[in-house]
DNA sequence: CTGGATCCGTTTAGATACTG
DNA sequence: CAGTATCTAAACGGATCCAG
């Protein structure tokens, strides 16, 4: 009884956990803007993200909040005002985003743009 | 004429470029295993990833290869043998994966597992 | 302004069969 | 062994309407 040849045992669980929190079409972008802008209202976030739809933004924010990465602060007034920001857990992910930015700056091709 | 209040101008292009290369359900996991194992045959990769389907794995590998992150080496023999590994560009992304692992190790809840 | 709910077309991804 | 092709169910995502 032997394990597969040439394939070492590796624990992917911690890595997979991190990935599971940030996949989803807009999550990384949301985290990015909250990182750069600190606190944003719902409508500001929507404008910043560009072509995200209402449905997507609200659902992604809800998941990020449920995962403890984003803080939702609601001001009881009319019209409503809601501000989003990073939690401590969310902030602790910023080194990851920072690495992504660093890599991007060194590798983004001239003239590249999101299709 | 003024820009939005409280919203500073930020260039998200490099970040978005990095994201665009690694989103896709299995790409990060593929990069992870090639990182840890150096070189893997198609079937070894498939076993390592667990429940990935044939179709997904081949399509994701193809995209990673097209983006210059993964190298495909084919040995002309019967039965065929194909090995995958990271390119230099692929390796240059490893600090990002490294950060994800570090964060995951510090934050993965006890008993958490991929649904 | 900040959402939730619904309808509905598009995309995705799994299962299966087939090839060199 | 390492793929490709096709068919189909399910998930996703956009548009729109409604509400506090």
The verdict on residue B13 lying in a domain is no
From the CA of B27, how many Å to the C1' of D10? 22
Q: For chains A and B, what is the number of CB pairs under 8 angstroms? A: 132
The verdict on residue A84 lying in a domain is yes
Which residue of B13, B89, B99 is in closest CB contact with A96?
B99
A35: nearest CA partner in chain B = B10
The verdict on residue A13 lying in a domain is no
Q: Is the CB of A10 less than 8 angstroms away from the CB of B36?
A: yes
Is A85:A38 a contact under the CB 8 Å cutoff?
yes
Distance from CA of A40 to the nearest CA of B (A): 8
Is A16:B51 a contact under the CB 8 Å cutoff?
no
Distance from CA of B111 to the nearest CA of A (A): 10
What is the tens place of the pLDDT at every residue in A1-58?
A: 444 567 778 999 999 999 999 998 899 999 999 999 999 999 999 999 998 999 999 9
Chain B hits for A81, CB-CB cut-off 8 Å, are none
* Number of Cα atoms under 13 Å in the Cβ half of residue B89: 16
The verdict on residue A90 lying in a domain is yes
Q: Which domain holds residue A66?
A: 22-102
Q: Is the CB of B15 less than 8 angstroms away from the CB of A97?
A: yes
The verdict on residue B107 lying in a domain is no
The verdict on residue A112 lying in a domain is no
State how many domains chain A has. 1
Determine the pLDDT at residue A5.
60
The verdict on residue B77 lying in a domain is yes
The verdict on residue A91 lying in a domain is yes
pLDDT over threshold 70, residue B2: no
Determine the pLDDT at residue B113.
86
What is the tens place of the pLDDT at every residue in A46-89?
A: 999 998 999 999 999 999 999 999 999 999 999 999 999 999 99
Chain C positions with an atom below 7 A of a protein C-beta are: 1-6, 12-17, 20
Instruction: In whole angstroms, give the CA distance from residue A39 to residue B67.
Output: 35
The strand pairing partners of B96, in sequence order, are: none
What is the tens place of the pLDDT at every residue in B71-106?
A: 999 999 989 999 999 999 999 999 999 999 999 999
From the CA of B115, how many Å to the C1' of D2? 29
Task: Provide the 3-class DSSP secondary structure of residue A70.
Answer: strand
CATH of the domain at A63: 1.10.10.10
């Amino acid at each position: 009884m032997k394990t597969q040849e040439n394939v070492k045992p590796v624990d992917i669980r911690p890595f997979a956990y991190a990935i599971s929190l940030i996949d989803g079409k807009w999550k990384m972008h949301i985290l990015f803007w909250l990182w750069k802008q600190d606190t944003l209202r719902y409508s500001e976030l929507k404008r910043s993200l560009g072509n995200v739809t209402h449905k997507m933004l609200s659902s992604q924010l809800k998941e990020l909040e449920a995962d403890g990465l984003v803080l939702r602060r609601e001001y009881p007034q009319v019209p409503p005002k809601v501000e989003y920001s990073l939690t401590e857990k969310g902030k602790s992910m910023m080194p990851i985003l920072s690495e992504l930015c660093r890599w991007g700056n060194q590798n983004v091709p001239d003239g590249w743009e999101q299709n």
